[in-house]
Amino acid sequence: MTTPKKLVLIGNGMAGVWTIEHLLKLAPHAYEITIFGAEPHPNYNRILLSTVLAGGASINDIIINDHDWYSDNQITLHTGDPVLRIDAQNRQVIAASGLHVDYDEVIIATGSRAFIPPIPGSDKDGVIGFRDIKDCETMISTAQTHRKAAVVGGGLLGLEAARGLLNLGMDVTVIHINEHLMDRQLDLPAGLMLQEQLEAQGMKFLLGKRTVELTGKRRVTGLRFTDGESLDADLVVMAVGIRPNIDVALSSALQINRGIVVDDHLHTNIPHISAVGECAEHRGIGYGLVAPLYEQGAVLAKRLAGLDTAGYEGSVTSTKLKVAGVDVFSAGQFADTKQTKSLRMQDDIDHIYKKLVIQDGKLIGAVLFGDTSEGSSLFSLIKSGESIVGREKELLTGYVAGAAAVSPLQRLESMADDEIVCGCNGVSKAAIGDAVLNQGCHTMGSLKACTKASASCGGCAPLVEGLLQYYAGDSAQVAVKEGMCDCTSLQRDEIVEQIKTMGLKTVKEVMNVLEWREPEGCSKCRPALNYYLGMLFPAEYEDEKESRFTNERYHANIQKDGTYSVVPRIYGGVTSPADLKKIANVAEKYNVPLVKFTGGQRLDLLGIQKEDLPKIWEELDMPSGHAYGKTLRTVKTCVGNTFCRFGTQDAMAMGIKMEKAYERLTGPAKIKLAVSGCPRNCAEATIKDLGLVAIDGGWELHVGGNGGVKVRAAELLCTVKTEEEVMEWSSAYLQYYREHARFNERTAAWIERVGLDHVKEALADQQTRLELVSRIEETLSYTSDPWKEIIAKDELRKNFEPLNQAPLTGSTTSIH
């Protein structure tokens, strides 16, 4: 076994520790890691200091990696002990405590410090920057005993500090040297709109003012300006910029300009010493925003892991203001020059402003105020450098002449893979897709832990949650809030009851009558309403394709590389030579890269291009296995008494009978069945949504099992003697689940929530069971067309054409 190298990280901040996190994923055992931090805290999210100051979070809430994380990863952490210098000749770092630690590789990630201008009085008590937890604690304690605060600097950080001080009950005035706020990110119209909004919140402003002195004896009492005017203040927060923290570099013979000079692979001028983050200077630029620092960290982690990497080439930056009630976005170049053209849209009534800056047919900058929903997509265009010729006004207005409204699901599908979803942590749509599809992240918690998406300011959480649903479909486990989603305060049962009572028949009608906050809904409520309407009115409701996710519309599963997988139905895992030949012929003809047996006893054709899907289904001439939707997936079987000497019942025949009965049954979530021919349970029936286990003279029905991320053993619902009783109880149980579970709630979670005794009581009366059986049979009668008839009607190909109809037509049509 190779002895791990010694890696020392100087700086316990976001950029350095993120690099270590990435390195641990790429090469978990390559290094013995030691981290030195100047602050007495584990790694925390500096971005959220303004949220702590504003009262929206505690110090503990912003800890990214607690002490357990370091110990779990065998990392030695020294807090409150800054490194003084690096002895490159002997390969040691020397800390303030006198500790000497050997290294093979060292990373400097010391970040930056708040710049305190050297004006008279800047060393007085009550004059601070806004950079770390100590500054935050100082402001919180000062607000308890003092009244008036001044923030010098009307940029991003200064306004966030001012908002927090307002929340602490202080009288806050922002002093800014230029004529409008955030002048490095916003043009004049947007800056004036921002000022108006913040003044309405109680913030005061002195613009065009330069501070020349801070007055007072030991403690600051006020500020004096060049024009002779003055302002009283008990606390002065300096937010006029940052300076790279290069102390350790100054004492270690490293090349320094403004920051520590690094190349595209984050090397310094001394071998085995790298620098990353705000302390580094790359191609003459130092970055103070988190997304570029993570991009640097990814390159450095790959290099240290011994992987090939193209190198870091610099970043196009974007900023968002994290102030309650104000939405501001800025990216790229916003200033006008002789070489640029600008498009602007300004609405002073609703306080909405939008500016696009174009050069040589490409978008190079954007400013959004009031409505920042298009920020990510515009930022992607800026970074990609693609031509927008002919689309300029479309991008400005968000409206394409003659086109229908775009549903939330279509927006998610149309996003580019490299579009940044979480700007704080530099997480792209593709990274989220990889985490969901390839790493099993099917909850917001696991997705956040894996990618850091929404782990910082949280502003991207709705979009991240939408993408989770988009990629995971029914596997997504999104926390249930008070209402179905943010679009309504109504819960599932209230909505279903209102639909039944008022006879609402379309998604649009439900949203209008029940007064949805968002008229077009979102990626959580639209699929849910689509299911509830279809469940309640199977004969009348026409399935709304634009409310379904990609997998369901294309009848195939999207994979991480953008290709699709096709799973034809193989009833009970029993096939024939003829069907195997069909599958083999299609796989050869369309160069399918991989054919795999699934855990549900079927064959999966992986790596198929989207445009080939209609032809493949037509040539297979087999029903879809529905491996993508909230439907019956598989019925797993053992060979039962047909061949096995232990079998007591014909498991294959029973499994095929059930699969043919329920094969097109939709549900709140996916449904998996299994049939075992004896108590040895080879088909694993006791970890399925519904599982049958054969016993002498009868069958046991087990329900509420799950074999996924959260394994749950099924519970015994009942024991019956005949196949007719099996079908009666199975149909009644499945229909009761369909009618009472929340959308996206698997049977395991549903049984845990309502209790098995409740379900037993509901199904105890035979008349009740027969009524449920009647309703499920009615539903299945409207979804019983053979797959080849669907293909003959060309319905599948229609799903591959752009959805050019309005998201909701308001009409009702029977399903044929």
What does DSSP say about strands 235-238 and 148-152: parallel, antiparallel, or unpaired?
A: parallel
pLDDT-based confidence at 119, cuts 50/70/90? Answer: very high
Instruction: Check if the beta carbon of residue 121 is closer than 8 Å to that of residue 211.
Output: no
**Beta bridge mates, 344:** 355
Q: How far apart are CA 360 and CA 493, in angstroms?
A: 55
Query: What's the pLDDT score for residue 21?
Result: 92
Task: Look up the CATH superfamily of 631-798.
Answer: Sulfite Reductase Hemoprotein, domain 1 (3.30.413.10)
Query: What's the pLDDT score for residue 400?
Result: 52
Three-state secondary structure along 205-267? EEECCCEEEEECCCECCEEEECCCCEEECCEEEECCCEEECCHHHHCCCCCECCCEEECCCCE
Query: What's the pLDDT score for residue 556?
Result: 81
Query: What's the pLDDT score for residue 801?
Result: 44
Angle at 576 between CA 570 and CA 577, to 5 degrees: 130
Average pLDDT over residues 427-443: 86
Element (H, E) at 14: helix 14-26
Residue 630 has pLDDT above 80, yes or no: yes
Query: What's the pLDDT score for residue 59?
Result: 84
Q: Over the stretch 69-92, which tens digit does the pLDDT of each residue have?
A: 999 999 999 999 999 999 999 999
Instruction: Check if the beta carbon of residue 35 is closer than 8 Å to that of residue 18.
Output: no
Query: What's the pLDDT score for residue 362?
Result: 94
Residue 812 has pLDDT above 50, yes or no: no
Residue where the block lists tokens 């096995």: 644
Q: How far apart are CA 714 and CA 695, in angstroms?
A: 17
Q: List CB contacts of 581: < 8 A, sequence separation 6 or more.
A: none
The amino acid occupying position 816 is H
- Residue 641 Cα distances to 562, 645, 718, 722, 776, angstroms: 43, 7, 22, 16, 30
DSSP class of residue 593?
S
Residue where the block lists tokens 């949220």: 51
Classify the phi-psi angles of 660: left when phi > 0, otherwise alpha if psi is within -120 to 50, otherwise beta: alpha
Please give the structure tokens belonging to residue 521. Answer: 């809904």
Q: Is the dihedral of CA 562, 566, 572, 577 positive or negative?
A: negative
Cα 280 to chain centroid distance, Å, stands at: 29
Residue 531 has pLDDT above 60, yes or no: yes
Query: What's the pLDDT score for residue 573?
Result: 86
Q: What CATH number matches the domain at 327-401, 3.40.50.150, 3.40.1160.10, 3.40.50.970, 3.30.390.30?
A: 3.30.390.30
pLDDT-based confidence at 628, cuts 50/70/90? Answer: confident
- Residue 432 Cα distances to 17, 47, 274, 551, angstroms: 20, 21, 29, 17
Can you name the CATH fold of 5-112+244-304? FAD/NAD(P)-binding domain (3.50.50)
- Residue 315 Cα distances to 15, 277, 360, 382, angstroms: 15, 12, 20, 11
Q: Over the stretch 190-201, which tens digit does the pLDDT of each residue have?
A: 999 999 989 988
Binding-site residues, in ranges, read 638, 644, 678, 682
Q: Over the stretch 336-386, which tens digit does the pLDDT of each residue have?
A: 999 999 999 998 888 889 999 999 999 999 999 988 878 877 887 888 888
Task: Pick 784 or 728 by higher pLDDT.
Answer: 728
Average pLDDT over residues 154-182: 92
Residue 255 has pLDDT above 50, yes or no: yes
Residue 49 has pLDDT above 50, yes or no: yes
pLDDT-based confidence at 324, cuts 50/70/90? Answer: low
**Weakest mean pLDDT among 174-183, 317-326, 668-677, 715-724:** 317-326
Angle at 511 between CA 486 and CA 376, to 5 degrees: 45
CATH of segment(s) 556-628: 3.90.480.10
Task: Pick 128 or 418 by higher pLDDT.
Answer: 128
**Weakest mean pLDDT among 217-231, 380-394, 670-684:** 380-394
Task: Pick 793 or 217 by higher pLDDT.
Answer: 217
Task: Look up the CATH superfamily of 116-240.
Answer: FAD/NAD(P)-binding domain (3.50.50.60)
Average pLDDT over residues 553-573: 82
Q: Where are the alpha helices (DSSP H) in 273-331?
A: 290-304
- Residue 381 Cα distances to 176, 373, 395, 414, 415, angstroms: 32, 14, 10, 13, 11
What does DSSP say about strands 420-422 and 427-428: parallel, antiparallel, or unpaired?
A: antiparallel
pLDDT-based confidence at 601, cuts 50/70/90? Answer: confident
Instruction: Check if the beta carbon of residue 597 is closer than 8 Å to that of residue 603.
Output: yes
Query: What's the pLDDT score for residue 457?
Result: 62
Q: How far apart are CA 63 and CA 332, in angstroms?
A: 31
Cα 261 to chain centroid distance, Å, stands at: 34
Q: Over the stretch 382-414, which tens digit does the pLDDT of each residue have?
A: 888 889 998 888 888 875 555 555 556 667 777
Task: Pick 419 or 686 by higher pLDDT.
Answer: 686
Q: List CB contacts of 28: < 8 A, sequence separation 6 or more.
A: none
pLDDT-based confidence at 420, cuts 50/70/90? Answer: confident
Binding-site residues for siroheme, in ranges, read 682
For 542-592, the DSSP string reads PP-GGGS-HHHHHTSEE-TTS-EEE-B--GGG---HHHHHHHHHHHHHTT-
Q: List CB contacts of 287: < 8 A, sequence separation 6 or more.
A: 278, 293, 296, 315, 317
- Residue 107 Cα distances to 19, 260, 424, 741, angstroms: 9, 12, 22, 52
Please give the structure tokens belonging to residue 499. Answer: 């639909």
Query: What's the pLDDT score for residue 203?
Result: 93
- Residue 251 Cα distances to 85, 86, 667, angstroms: 6, 8, 66
**Weakest mean pLDDT among 19-33, 250-264, 265-279, 597-611:** 597-611
Instruction: Output phi, psi for 420, to 5 deg.
Output: -75, 125
Query: What's the pLDDT score for residue 201?
Result: 84
Element (H, E) at 355: strand 352-359
Q: How far apart are CA 502 and CA 157, in angstroms?
A: 51
- Residue 475 Cα distances to 261, 275, 470, 797, angstroms: 47, 41, 10, 26
- Each domain of the chain, given as residue ranges in start order, spans 5-112+244-304, 116-240, 327-401, 556-628, 631-798
Residue 791 has pLDDT above 70, yes or no: no
Three-state DSSP at 702 gives strand
Instruction: Check if the beta carbon of residue 100 is closer than 8 Å to that of residue 83.
Output: no
Residue 477 has pLDDT above 70, yes or no: no
Q: How far apart are CA 421 and CA 463, in angstroms?
A: 7
Q: How far apart are CA 153 and CA 164, in angstroms?
A: 15
Q: What is the mean pLDDT of the chain?
A: 86
Query: What's the pLDDT score for residue 370?
Result: 85
Angle between helices 429-439 and 461-472 (to 10 degrees): 40
- Residue 567 Cα distances to 556, 626, 675, 744, angstroms: 7, 7, 20, 22
**Weakest mean pLDDT among 88-97, 443-452, 600-609:** 443-452
Element (H, E) at 175: strand 171-176
Sheet with 564-566, edge to edge strand ranges: 557-558, 564-566, 603-608, 594-597
Please give the structure tokens belonging to residue 321. Answer: 């203001």
Query: What's the pLDDT score for residue 784?
Result: 53
Please give the structure tokens belonging to residue 148. Answer: 């008036």
**Weakest mean pLDDT among 68-77, 156-165, 392-401, 751-760:** 392-401
Query: What's the pLDDT score for residue 437?
Result: 87
Domains 327-401 and 556-628 are alike in CATH topology: no
pLDDT-based confidence at 206, cuts 50/70/90? Answer: very high
Please give the structure tokens belonging to residue 418. Answer: 């490299």
CA nearest to 470, candidates 396, 544, 541, 548: 548
Residue 577 has pLDDT above 80, yes or no: yes
**Weakest mean pLDDT among 52-61, 220-229, 288-297, 298-307:** 52-61
Q: Over the stretch 638-654, which tens digit does the pLDDT of each residue have?
A: 999 888 889 999 999 99
Binding-site residues for [4Fe-4S] cluster, in ranges, read 638, 644, 678, 682
Instruction: Output phi, psi for 760, to 5 deg.
Output: -60, -45
